[in-house]
Structure 1
Amino acid sequence: MIDATDRRIIEALQGGLPLVPAPYAQVADDLGMPEATLLDRLATLKARGVIRRIAAAPNHYKLGMTSNGMTVWDVQDDLITELGAHIGALPFVTHCYERPRALPDWPYNLFAMVHGSSPDEVEDKRGQIAAILGSACRGSDILYSTRILKKTGLRLKAKG
């Protein structure tokens, strides 16, 4: 459970940090609390698992990354944790996770999102992933994005 102050903090941050030199100081000021209090409460919320992270969600298209593909892989189950960690650590992979297969139609269990300025760049990155997976990978595909979807996390509704 969260108290009223934690709720105010979450509501203030759920739309993103302000684009100012000291964003946490600005949010703390807006909430009428010291910055140290805000940071302590955020650390506690994270430690309790109430929030997972505070991160930027860039618009890849505006950054010139107009070719975006979800690479999907059929990886040996006994190696997926180890190999998934390697793939997720690649600087060009923005999301990497394991999902259950949906046999017989969908044999893929490892997903890795890759962005590039062209399809050739994305395919090159896909090749780098394939090299890491090696013989532990029995098949793969890539699903290219056709449009940008609204990207937001969970939103709390204002009480009232």
Structure 2
Amino acid sequence: MIGDDIDRALIVATQGGLPLVGEPYRALGEELGISASEVIERLGRMLESGLIRRIGAVPNHYAIGWTANGMTVWDVDDAEVDRLGGLVGSLPFVTHCYRRPRSLPAWPYNLFAMVHGSSREECATKARDIQALLGAACRGSDILYSTRILKKTGLRIGA
């Protein structure tokens, strides 16, 4: 739950990104009527509590040349999926990793990991690295390639 009205206003003010200025926390503080140090303290508290997950840059992977985007899907032993998912998610080239329920018999996959590259071959190489990490716990896999961007924003809350 959001701590108070200032926390809510801070989330609304930052959900589209930090201000693109030399001192973004100062700019936010001025907008909200608080100091830059209070902005930093509040964001830190919200990170620690899990109210927000991260503060970071989100590059446009198409603009930096990663035009091949593959969601790798894996049929991993349920007894190992959480442990192995943590390892896959920590790979530097995996941008999203999560567990999802299977939909048998048509969809046996329960582990998903997004990889990006300048070509499908580069994505396939990264998938082979994931396969090597999963080892015998993996019973099958596939790569679903993006064909177009439908949405590039996260959850937004209103003011």
- TM more than 0.5: yes
- 1:33 has 2:34 as partner: yes
- 1:101 has 2:109 as partner: no
- 1:54 has 2:50 as partner: no
1:152 corresponds to which letter in structure 2?
Answer: T
C-alpha deviation, 1:141, in angstroms = 0.5
Higher deviation after alignment, 68-77 or 147-156: 147-156
- For residues 63 and 6 of structure 2, the distance between their equivalents in structure 1, rounded to whole angstroms, comes to 35
- 1:45 has 2:46 as partner: yes
8 Å Cα contact 1:57-1:151 kept in structure 2:
no
- For residues 152 and 83 of structure 2, the distance between their equivalents in structure 1, rounded to whole angstroms, comes to 29
- What residue ranges of structure 1 are gaps of 5+ in the alignment? none
The aligned residue for residue 85 of structure 1 is 86
Higher deviation after alignment, 24-33 or 139-148: 24-33
- What residue ranges of structure 2 are gaps of 5+ in the alignment? none
Deviation readout 1:82-134 (Å, 9 max, x if unpaired): 21111111111000111111111110000000000011111111111111111
How many residue pairs end up in the alignment?
A: 158
8 Å Cα contact 1:99-1:111 kept in structure 2:
yes
TM-score, structure 1 as length reference: 0.92
RMSD of the alignment, in Å? 1.4
Aligned with 2:114: secondary structure?
A: strand
The aligned residue for residue 69 of structure 2 is 68
C-alpha deviation, 1:53, in angstroms = 1.9
- For residues 49 and 131 of structure 2, the distance between their equivalents in structure 1, rounded to whole angstroms, comes to 37
1:18 corresponds to which letter in structure 2?
Answer: P
Runs of 4+ in 1 over 3 A off after TM superposition: none
8 Å Cα contact 1:12-1:27 kept in structure 2:
yes
The aligned residue for residue 148 of structure 2 is 147
C-alpha deviation, 1:54, in angstroms = 2.2
8 Å Cα contact 1:73-1:109 kept in structure 2:
yes
- 1:15 has 2:16 as partner: yes
Deviation readout 1:22-73 (Å, 9 max, x if unpaired): 2222212222211111111112223333222223222110010000000000
